[in-house]
Amino acid sequence: MCGIVGYVGEKQALEVVVSGLRRLEYRGYDSAGVAVIADGRLEVRKKAGKLVNLETLLGEDPLPQSTTGIGHTRWATHGGPTDRNAHPHVSEDQQVAVIHNGIIENFAELRDELQAAGVHLSSETDTEVVAHLLSKAIPAAGFDLVEAMRAVCRRLEGAFTLLAVDPRQPDLVVGARRNSPLVVGLGKGENFLASDVAAFVEYTRDALELGQDQIVALTSGEVVVIDFDGNPAEVRPFTIDWDASAAEKGGHDLFMLKEIAEQPKAVADSLRGRIGQDGHLQLDEMRLADADLRAVSKVVVIACGTAAHAGMVAKYAVEHWTRIPVEVELASEFRYRDPIVGPDTLVIAISQSGETMDTLMALRHAKAQGARTLAICNTVGSTIPREADAVVYTYAGPEIAVASTKAFLTQIIASYLVGLYLAQVRGTMFADEIRAIMDDLNDMPQKVDLVLDTVEPVRAIAREFANAPSVLFIGRHVGFPVALEGALKLKELAYMHAEGFAAGELKHGPIALIEDGVPVVVIMPSPRGRAVLHDKMISAIQEVRARGAVIIAIAEEGDEKIVAFSDHVIRVPIVPTLMQPLVSTVPLQVFACEMATAKGHDVDQPRNLAKSVTVE
């Protein structure tokens, strides 16, 4: 939701800021804007639509040279995606420019107060009030933007990352954060602020995690961090373990295609170094004591969207391996329903970005109830792993396309590692059993590679059904969350009606959706796993086929029985039952990507969406 960049240094700020915005555009693309300080005054340019519109404007109406600047790419919350509502917002006296990510919940009250004092607001945003409040606070703060920011932040409710500049302090960018991401990039003679390290990784890999309710004063030579009370604050330095090329398309037309292709490596990286010298599974970032893990009587997974589907897959494996009951709950539902969690509950928050507000709030709720918490996350330095008791990183590298692909596979891997670790600590599996599953997991990069090598026919099938009014996905057991994931990908990318169902549920209602020509994608279980599941799936196919459905089956090599019941068969390699989602999801990603491309949609930046959803 909104990407934010700030820069102070020796380079041209505009270049650094715009290149940062390009890397953050996945966070929101309703409008973009920049502000620089030049010759003692603020210069602002902003434009509705994607960053390219702003770049055109900057070509027509160039900015003067400047070494201090901020920039914003927006996902609209308050007010439509117009030029007027684009950030930065500027105070009436033209002295303060502000950009914001998040939602200021008490903005209506603050707006009324400002209007009563005669301030004219020129946008519909919640952000604009901050510009005016800062401008009013500055004289009382001795014309110090940091002090003014501190005073204003104490009045704000909700979630916010704010960056502000003021030409009276031309070499300073001030940032503040509560519940929204902000990281510092440390350069030599220059420093950076951004929602995500991707914005500055081409200049530096040294970064600082900021904590909750902190303010940062950034100059070219210094980074000072304080809390909202003005006390020096603790920050955590970290090194970014990937380079700028990881956030480029690397020869692919789309980030999504690149990320699909990267899955074998992402899976391998997520598995690397997990077996210690003694042959036991080790999770270096696991900060929970074995005694606490032995005391766990229930696991609750909280997550949203694709991450929740990964949690659903994990439930099948973790219950099987540990015999601990696992609940999977949408994070947005969790905290508003009085869930039963306590010190013997392990709450696992799964999040690629580590910033999803619903997941963060659910995590905090779980912690407040005394639960042990663990984050499965891809983004080092993000809020969710910082606030959880323990973390297992997925090491998938940056995921830029809005539609999650490699995050899903690596979230499954990380959840499986947690399940096996629990089984190891609690003694519910023998060491050789755990090693055998680790061997299966270690085979997966090569199996996913095989899927990618043979996935081409999926594209032709996708194009054949590009005009279908609806596509249904059905699965059983671990194939059920895969069906949900296939449908989600299609909805978000191809903007078409798609639903995933548990195949056994069809006859309880959804079968009424079947009519002549409706494509039904069937995630076939292995006939070698539990044969009864395979037979039941064939029955479900018969039922929908009898009503006119066209069957596209995802089936393992050697499953010949499926051929007679399908119109198209997409083959995936033979893998153990619990590993099937890692191969059967990949053709569905390609299917959705190809269908969206055939329809002429922007695959990497689908309409109405943003990569990390930092509002509730």
> Can you give the binding site for ligand AGP, defined by CB under 6 A?
304-307, 351-353, 356, 359, 402-404, 407, 492, 612-613
Backbone angles phi, psi at 305, to 5 degrees: 55, -130
Taking the least distance from each CB to ligand AGP, the nearer of 5 and 361 is 361
What does the DSSP assignment read for 448-477? HHHHHHT-HHHHHHHHHTTT-SEEEEEE-T
Farthest CA pair distance, the chain: 80
* Shortest distance (Å) from residue 521 CB to ligand AGP: 17
* Shortest distance (Å) from residue 386 CB to ligand AGP: 14
* Shortest distance (Å) from residue 149 CB to ligand AGP: 28
| Cβ atoms within 10 Å, residue 450 | 18
2 is catalytic: yes
Q: Which listed residue (258, 489, 491, 611) is catalytic?
A: 611
Tell me how far CA of residue 274 lies from CA of 280, 286, 516, 517, 612, in angstroms. Answer: 8, 11, 50, 47, 28
Q: Sign of torsion, CA 72 208 375 343? A: negative
* Shortest distance (Å) from residue 305 CB to ligand AGP: 2
* Shortest distance (Å) from residue 309 CB to ligand AGP: 8
Taking the least distance from each CB to ligand AGP, the nearer of 66 and 394 is 394
Of 357, 348, 352, 370, whose CA–CA distance to 301 is shortest?
Answer: 348
Taking the least distance from each CB to ligand AGP, the nearer of 363 and 423 is 363
User: Which position has the token pair 């530096």?
Assistant: 204
Taking the least distance from each CB to ligand AGP, the nearer of 166 and 358 is 358
Give residues with Cβ within 8 angstroms of 523, minimum separation 6.
473, 474, 475, 476, 479, 480, 482, 483, 486, 554, 580, 584
* Shortest distance (Å) from residue 181 CB to ligand AGP: 11
CB 6 within 8 A of CB 164: no
Coil, strand or helix: which one is 52? helix
447 is catalytic: no
CB 35 within 8 A of CB 42: yes
Of 405, 403, 407, whose CA–CA distance to 393 is shortest?
Answer: 407
* Shortest distance (Å) from residue 603 CB to ligand AGP: 11
Taking the least distance from each CB to ligand AGP, the nearer of 146 and 328 is 328
- Give the residue at shortest CB distance from ligand AGP: 305
Q: Which listed residue (2, 153, 304, 377) is catalytic?
A: 2
Taking the least distance from each CB to ligand AGP, the nearer of 226 and 330 is 330
How far apart are alpha carbons 97 and 101 in whole angstroms?
Answer: 14
* Shortest distance (Å) from residue 469 CB to ligand AGP: 22
Taking the least distance from each CB to ligand AGP, the nearer of 127 and 352 is 352
* Shortest distance (Å) from residue 400 CB to ligand AGP: 11
Give residues with Cβ within 8 angstroms of 282, minimum separation 6.
273, 274, 275, 276
Coil, strand or helix: which one is 418? helix
CB 215 within 8 A of CB 227: yes
Kindly provide the b/e burial profile for residues 461-483, where b requires at least 16 CB atoms within 10 angstroms of the residue's own CB.
bbebbeebebbbbbbbbbbbbbb
User: Helix 128-140 vs helix 145-153: angle between axes, to the nearest 10 degrees?
Assistant: 120
CB 371 within 8 A of CB 265: no
Taking the least distance from each CB to ligand AGP, the nearer of 466 and 609 is 609
CB 384 within 8 A of CB 304: no
Taking the least distance from each CB to ligand AGP, the nearer of 308 and 503 is 308
CB 309 within 8 A of CB 328: no
What positions carry a catalytic annotation?
Answer: 2, 611
